Amino acid sequence: MKVLPTLAETALSSIANALSRLSPLNHQSQRIAITGLQRAGKTVFITSLTHALLNAVDWPAAAFPFFPWRGLVQSVSLETIPGIPVFPYEERLEELLGNPPRWPDRTVDLTGLRVRLRHRQGSRLGKYIAPVTTLDLDLIDYPGEWLLDLPMLSQSYDDWSLQAYELATSGARAELSKAWREQARALHLDEPENTFELLRIGGAYVDYLRRCRTEHLHFLQPGRFISGSSMPLEAVFFPLTRGASFNAGTNGAALKRRYDSYQRLVRRFYNDVFGRLRRQVVLVDLLSALQRGHESFADLALAVRAITEAFEELKSPLLKLLTLGRMDRLALVATKADHITAGQINNLIGLLRDMIGEPFVRANARQSGLLAITSVRATTQVMRNWQGQPLEFLRGIPVGRSEPIEVRPGEIPGQVPERDNWSAFNFNIREFAPPRIGLAQNQPLPHINLDKVLQFLIA
């Protein structure tokens, strides 16, 4: 019996086909994949970047300082990427510019959009006789949760179970996983396969992962069980509560078979999709995790390291899994930098660097860059006198309110704080509503360093 119904595989195949398609003759093409864990800021980033690519030629240079071939651009247009579901740029922009403006809803699955730039090449002979070049920038949005599955490729079902079960019993997860653990322990692994039982306990496991997500925990495996819309419940497995080998036809054997099928699906994703995305942006929302405290931050660090390890595998294929293995550029980006004052941005980058780990940063120094950005700036900075001293405050409208407030976001540590030092920090990282910019569709959106990401990726 084929356990994974064709839905997930069909979607993967069509994406893989689309990605293997060559650009039309005379077109240069750069594929830029944007990923990040839930709520990292992918959708806002793509919307704001696309908006800038479409309009920045007409803006004063200071609004988007790095814009490729400014002055040589003839036209910019939006296209679809054949075979890839469309990223709904216009809808997202309309929401951001609406009255009142709105942040986007959650998104799942992979989508993409092509920005076609026609420009004359810079030439010593002058721009009027230089040939026109077409450059397609394909922006692809996919959930970073899919990358959390890579470690599973080199783990047996027993090994993975051991690790996942241990995690499920630690910290805040112990309570969240309780219902699932009780059901899983009561399952007789040696009895004949009972699809109904497996469905019920599988449902409880997915429920546990969802609850972790609600509690802002990020290291959630298998990543496809809760992100992306194409995992059927009959394909769900869960960690074994005790390791053993099982006879054919038993519950244990059924779970193992599902694990093996899932591994095949993940391997195909790495071979056919991830391996073809050579320029990638990984967005990380460090600030919200800082605000939530030690456990949330440590969990984010675990997930981010699993993601960077996925990129390492592109260089030295584990068990020769990846046939394409190569990465051209990787931008590791801390988002929502407008939640802190400008003087703290270097510390934010230091924190990201420390979270990722010096060995990775050094080993990939040539292809990777660390940046801090704001895709759409929701705050302004103001100076206020506080007990006789001039201090920087942030001013913005909190989500759900109508009047602006002024806050001091607190000192951002330049390194990951030691476990016992968390109490020394007093963060005040708030969620702000998007700025009210009015209705002009083609005016600049306020941002921080968005142009630098583009520069890093394509200059």
Ligand X SMILES: Nc1nc2c(ncn2[C@@H]2O[C@H](COP(=O)(O)OP(=O)(O)OP(=O)(O)O)[C@@H](O)[C@H]2O)c(=O)[nH]1
User: Does residue 92 bind ligand X (CB under 6 A)?
Assistant: no
Q: Residue 191 phi/psi, 5° resolution? A: -85, 160
Region near ligand X per CB under 6 A, out of 8-16, 207-215, 240-248, 330-338: 330-338
Kindly write down the DSSP assignment for every residue of 30-52, as one continuous string.
EEEEEEESTTSSHHHHHHHHHHH
CB atoms within 10 A of CB 330: 23
Altogether, the residues listed in the chain come to a count of: 459
User: Does residue 335 bind Mg ion (CB under 5 A)?
Assistant: no
- Least distance to Mg ion, CB of residue 437, Å: 20
Rounded CA-CA distance 12/269 in Å is 7
Number of residues that bind ligand X (CB under 6 A): 22
Q: In what order do the strands lie in the sheet with 389-396?
A: 380-386, 389-396, 405-407
User: Does residue 177 bind Mg ion (CB under 5 A)?
Assistant: no
376 binds, among Mg ion, ligand X, none (CB under 5 to 8 A by kind): ligand X
Rounded CA-CA distance 362/299 in Å is 23
- Least distance to Mg ion, CB of residue 43, Å: 3
Q: Which is nearer to ligand X, 135 or 226 (CB)?
A: 226
Q: Which is nearer to ligand X, 227 or 251 (CB)?
A: 227
User: Does residue 43 bind Mg ion (CB under 5 A)?
Assistant: yes
Q: Which is nearer to ligand X, 258 or 336 (CB)?
A: 336
Among positions 31, 43, 327, 371, the unique one binding ligand X when judged by CB under 6 A: 43
Among positions 48, 107, 308, 375, the unique one binding Mg ion when judged by CB under 5 A: 107
Among positions 64, 66, 67, 103, the unique one binding ligand X when judged by CB under 6 A: 103
- Which residue's Cβ lies closest to ligand X? 103
Burial class (CB in 10 A: 0-12, 13-18, 19+), 359: exposed
Mark 254-273 with x for binding to ligand X (rule: CB under 6 A) and - for no binding.
Answer: --------------------
Among positions 106, 320, 366, 419, the unique one binding ligand X when judged by CB under 6 A: 106
| Buried-state track 228-243, b at ≥16 Cβ within 10 A, e below 16 | bebbeeebbbbbbbee
Q: Residue 225 phi/psi, 5° resolution? A: -70, -25
SS3 261: helix
User: Does residue 375 bind ligand X (CB under 6 A)?
Assistant: yes
User: Does residue 275 bind ligand X (CB under 6 A)?
Assistant: no
